[in-house]
Amino acid sequence: MAKDSSEHKQNNLAAPGLVLDLASLQDRYRSGGPCSIKPFFGHTVTAGKQPGLQVFSQFFETDFTVNDIKYRWSEQFMMAGKARLFGDTDVLEKITESRRTARP
């Protein structure tokens, strides 16, 4: 049984009206509500400013640890997962040892 839009998951810490799941986005679109999508944006923060949408970039640098492995950005985590999936230990080692992104 499909859930109505009031039952869709929403994060109370997010901005009011922020759509966080596909069903809610589809409901908003069908009702003619505003749908703002930002698929691409930079990953660096201007000196002296607080991070904004950059935090959603795969290349935004922020340290985190998964299964005792430290990553510096989410794209590094994703690429390491792909290397594990394909059993490419040489590439996995290069990825996890990398201290900077390949992007400028």
pLDDT band of 97, cuts 50, 70, 90: very high
pTM, to two decimals: 0.57
Question: pLDDT tens digits for 18-60?
Answer: 777 888 889 988 999 887 766 666 767 777 877 777 777 888 8
Could you give the angle at the alpha carbon of 36 between the alpha carbons of 30 and 40, nearest 5°? 130
The residues near 66 (Cβ < 8 Å, ≥ 6 apart) are 77
Type of residue found at 40: F
Question: pLDDT tens digits for 62-95?
Answer: 899 999 999 998 999 999 999 999 999 999 999 9
User: What's the token pair of residue 92?
Assistant: 């996995």
